[in-house]
Amino acid sequence: MKRSIRDLVNLEGKRVFLRTDFNLPMDNAGRITDTTRLISELPTIRFLVERGARVIICSHLGRPKGFDFRLSLWPISLILMKYFPGKVSFAHKVVGDEVKKQVECMSNGSILLLENVRFYKEETENDPEFSKELASLADIYVNDAFGVIHRKHASTYGVARLLPNAIGFLVENELNIITNALKNPQQPFIAIFGGAKVEDKISAILNILKTADIILVGGAMAYSFMMAKNQTIGRSFSSLNSVTIAKQILEEAQKAGKRIVLPVDHIAYMYGDKKRKTFVTEVLSGEMVGCDIGPKTIKLFSEEIGKAKQVIWNGPLGMYEEPKFQKGTFEIAKIIGHSTAYSIVGGGDSASAVKQAHCLRMINHVSTGGGATLKLMGGESLPGIEVIQEKSV
């Protein structure tokens, strides 16, 4: 078991390098539209502040190529100030003498938010010298950035190797909930997978096949499974590689005696139709483009979910970013929310859909990770976890 923040003692006056995930969504004007991820980090920050630590927060925002004022963490420092009045200051850089002076001037129980760490290319390169510079700012390292726990970057891996370390409450909670749900599921256990590429989710699907009773498949990846079963998909999205992987998954499911349930009808439009006039069809052929699950599929999936005691969902079931293709994803979100099953939703799109469908509070656990959640579901290694010290007995 990895060492947790709760195992750290004598934090008074200690400099704690806290890696968080403040990669918050923004609109076209650069305004932050959702602070859920930041709020989920507050228990860890509050724990450190209340114990008199000097909290140096490091995060990224977006994928900048060098400095980009539109992706500065300055606006996030203003949000933090609302939760910790009089305790938050901002560093316009991440490393260097100026930052070191700011750290030296910190008082116990104060917070220093560093600028966007991805403004430095050395971050994603896991540069050893950059890691040393970051580590020189602190006495202890805490990782509470579950969304990037699968990245082998300087701030998630390199620094952790150089300091006594631990995981924060958010990471600890994510690991415990998802791992326990996969190892000791409540049966019947249903997994729902959507999204575009089956390649991105093969490990998760194959791993979940070991304990799940049924897997429901929607989204664009469903068309690859349909092709693998020699069904026509018209002009719907797929690829040769996706179909090959889908065949492999279907074969594994058959060996394990598990059911994979595919859509039985679709919301589609005709290729080339600029207005994308939609219609319902049970067979995708010719110039048809499938973009959402149809009413019969919603009913079928609903019946299966109704029998479950545990549901894990990852990936939208259609092109939900377009209003005319939202119904399938939103209806399934509501069905899961209103079911009696223990529910876990993982992935940014699925979490966003649950929120837009106004059933966020009805889901037992909404994971803050995207790729990290998938890798954890797939039983893959997470560099940001591997580097954390084991808890002493």
Buried-exposed string 39-60: b where 16+ CB fall within 10 A, e elsewhere: ebbbebbebbbebebbbbbbbb
Among 15, 19, 37, 118, the active-site one is: 37
Helices (H), 220-342: 221-228, 240-256, 295-307, 327-338
- Bridge partners (DSSP) of residue 56 are 17, 112
- C-beta separation of 206 from 180 below 8 A: no
Contact predicate 367/178, CB 8 Å: yes
Catalytic residue, candidates 290, 337, 348, 384: 348
Q: Please, are residues 353 and 318 in contact by the beta-carbon 8 Å criterion?
A: no
Is 161 a catalytic site residue?
no
Give whole-number Cα distances, 24 to 40, 154, 234, 280, in Å.
Answer: 12, 20, 37, 36
Determine whether 371 is an active site residue: yes
d(CA 345, CA 351) in angstroms, rounded, equals: 6
CB–CB of 146/170 below 8 Å?
A: yes
Joined together, the tokens standing for residue 385 give: 């976890």
Exactly one of 2, 19, 118, 197 is catalytic; name it: 197
Structure-block tokens of residue 93: 């850089």
Neighbours of 357 (CB within 10 A): 20
Q: What span, in angstroms and rounded, lies between the C-alpha atoms of 124 and 117?
A: 9
Catalytic residue among 13, 52, 371, 379: 371
Q: Look up residue 281 and give its DSSP letter.
A: E
Q: Is-contact 171 179, C-beta < 8 A?
A: no
| Alpha helices for the chain (secondary structure H) | 36-50, 74-83, 97-104, 121-124, 128-135, 169-183, 202-208, 221-228, 240-256, 295-307, 327-338, 348-356, 371-377, 383-386
Active-site residue 37, yes or no?
yes
Active site residue 346: no
Residue positions annotated with a catalytic role: 37, 197, 348, 371
